[in-house]
Amino acid sequence: MAKSGAVQDSDAVKDSAFLRACRGEEVPHTPVWFMRQAGRSLPEYLKVREGIAMLDSCTMPELVKEITLQPVRRHQVDAAVYFSDIVVPLKAIGVDLDIKPGIGPVIANPIRSRADLQQLRPLEPGDVSYVTEAIGLLTAELGATPLIGFAGAPYTLASYLVEGGPSKNHENTKALMYGDPELWQELLDRLADITAAFLKVQIEAGASAVQLFDSWVGALAPDDYRRSVMPASAKVFDAVAGYGVPRIHFGVGTGELLGLMGDAGADVVGVDWRVPLDEAARRVAPGKALQGNLDPTVLFAPEAAIRAKTEEVLAAAEASGRGHVFNLGHGVLPSTDPDTLTRLVAHVHEATQR
């Protein structure tokens, strides 16, 4: 990270280990970042968030900048991830929702009928001017460290909107998908447009990569994914293809979907801990890089076990022959010891120094 006040050096960013790995080029060391690296595992995060509701914090550019920078300072990760949440663009267009601590997003009026779709109007850049402002502040301080923007994918957003909140089995979501395919397509199409608009805002403000989180799409069989979800996700990726920034696609429990998720238009496919990266490479089309995939619960084991499991991930990545961005197989769990994350970054850097 550069000294405060420095401007972002875009050539240095383009040449960073993270962006090189996303493009499948030679790297000085394997780059590392963690999904959910900003947030509750950090005491400095809890301190600045005191008394401020999650969704309010996302609209405060100085606070967003500070929270986004915290893990970069502390862990020396190779990329920053913009502090926000997947429901921020929905809130920005007026959907009545909140994030309840310990639960997640809760929607006041779940979408179950055609009339309910009226809640989803297109997103205009002016709806999220705080994002543009915060990214401007961030790129002024990040120096050669790339900033990753993100959004929720149409299926995962739909699962919250249709269920009304987090759900284990997605029964209402799937009932809509199977029972009223026309309404389902209309819902996903609107979400694709909102998501694409939100990613464009982040890229135009200075994000140098984007990740599309389809966290819960692993609930679907491949045929249903191909028919009912892939076109909407592909629409999002197509909409941002022209910028030339790497597009990362991630979901949990998506072993059977990895090839299709790559084909939807990703440059980098995120893999959870259930599929070793060399096996993932057999499922994902050639030329795409891989991201992952240490089980986040491994970080609660003794140091020697963490190191051994990390070596396994690195060996599988090496065997995959693909560009590799080291990450966890899902987000950092809130009770993770931050020092464990700092040691993990140093270990990956040392072990892969070229």
Q: How far apart are the first and last CA of the chain?
A: 21
- Rounded to a whole number of angstroms, the minimum distance from the CB of residue 72 to ligand CP3 is 11
Strand order, beta sheet including 247-250: 80-81, 147-152, 209-213, 247-250, 268-270, 289-294, 324-328
Comparing CA positions, the residue from 346, 343, 77 lying closest to residue 68 is 77
Token pair 């926000």 is found at 84
**Is residue 147 within 8 Å of residue 72, measured between CB atoms?**
no
- Tokens at residue 33, please? 């970042």
- Rounded to a whole number of angstroms, the minimum distance from the CB of residue 99 to ligand CP3 is 5
Comparing CA positions, the residue from 201, 200, 155, 198 lying closest to residue 174 is 155
Active site residue 85: yes
> Among 23, 36, 74, 226, which one carries the catalytic annotation?
36
| 36 marked as part of a ligand binding site | yes
Tell me the HSE value of 202 on the side-chain side, using a 13 A CA sphere.
Answer: 27
CB closer to ligand CP3, 24 vs 217: 217
**Is residue 235 within 8 Å of residue 190, measured between CB atoms?**
no
Figure out which of the listed residues 8, 37, 159, 310 binds ligand CP3, where binding follows CB under 6 A: 37
What is the distance between the alpha carbons of residues 252 and 262, in angstroms, rounded to a whole number?
Answer: 14
DSSP 309-352: HHHHHHHHHHHHTS-EEEEESSPPPTT--HHHHHHHHHHHHHHH
Figure out which of the listed residues 149, 246, 331, 338 binds ligand CP3, where binding follows CB under 6 A: 331
| 12 marked as part of a ligand binding site | no
DSSP 130-191: HHHHHHHHHHHHHTT--EEEEEE-HHHHHHHHHHSS--SS-HHHHHHHHH-HHHHHHHHHHH
CB closer to ligand CP3, 99 vs 351: 99
Q: Residue 43, interface with ligand CP3 (CB under 6 A)?
A: no
| 242 marked as part of a ligand binding site | no
- Tokens at residue 99, please? 């994030």
Q: Which of residues 97-116 bind ligand CP3 (CB under 6 A)?
A: 99, 101-105
Active site residue 11: no
Q: Residue 215, interface with ligand CP3 (CB under 6 A)?
A: yes
Q: Residue 40, interface with ligand CP3 (CB under 6 A)?
A: yes
Active site residue 160: yes
What is the distance between the alpha carbons of residues 176 and 223, in angstroms, rounded to a whole number?
Answer: 16
| 274 marked as part of a ligand binding site | no
> Among 9, 23, 74, 85, which one carries the catalytic annotation?
85
| 160 marked as part of a ligand binding site | yes
| 227 marked as part of a ligand binding site | no
Q: Residue 286, interface with ligand CP3 (CB under 6 A)?
A: no
Q: Which stretch binds ligand CP3 (CB under 6 A): 37-45, 121-129, 173-181, 299-307?
A: 37-45
Q: Residue 95, interface with ligand CP3 (CB under 6 A)?
A: no
What is the distance between the alpha carbons of residues 305 and 30, in angstroms, rounded to a whole number?
Answer: 20
Figure out which of the listed residues 9, 85, 133, 278 binds ligand CP3, where binding follows CB under 6 A: 85
> Among 40, 226, 227, 343, which one carries the catalytic annotation?
40
Q: Residue 150, interface with ligand CP3 (CB under 6 A)?
A: yes
What is the distance between the alpha carbons of residues 4 and 140, in angstroms, rounded to a whole number?
Answer: 8
| 113 marked as part of a ligand binding site | no
- Rounded to a whole number of angstroms, the minimum distance from the CB of residue 190 to ligand CP3 is 19
CB closer to ligand CP3, 16 vs 159: 159
CB closer to ligand CP3, 151 vs 240: 151
Active site residue 82: no
Q: Is 143 left (phi over 0), alpha (psi -120 to 50) or beta?
A: left
| 155 marked as part of a ligand binding site | no
Q: Which of residues 174-213 bind ligand CP3 (CB under 6 A)?
A: 213
- Tokens at residue 39, please? 């947030």
Q: Residue 35, interface with ligand CP3 (CB under 6 A)?
A: yes
Where is the binding site for substrate, in residues?
36-40, 85, 160, 215, 330
Where is the binding site, in residues?
36-40, 85, 160, 215, 330
Binding site for ligand CP3 (CB under 6 A): 35-40, 54, 81, 83, 85-86, 99, 101-105, 150, 213, 215, 331
Give the residue numbers annotated as catalytic, written as ranges: 36, 40, 49, 85, 160
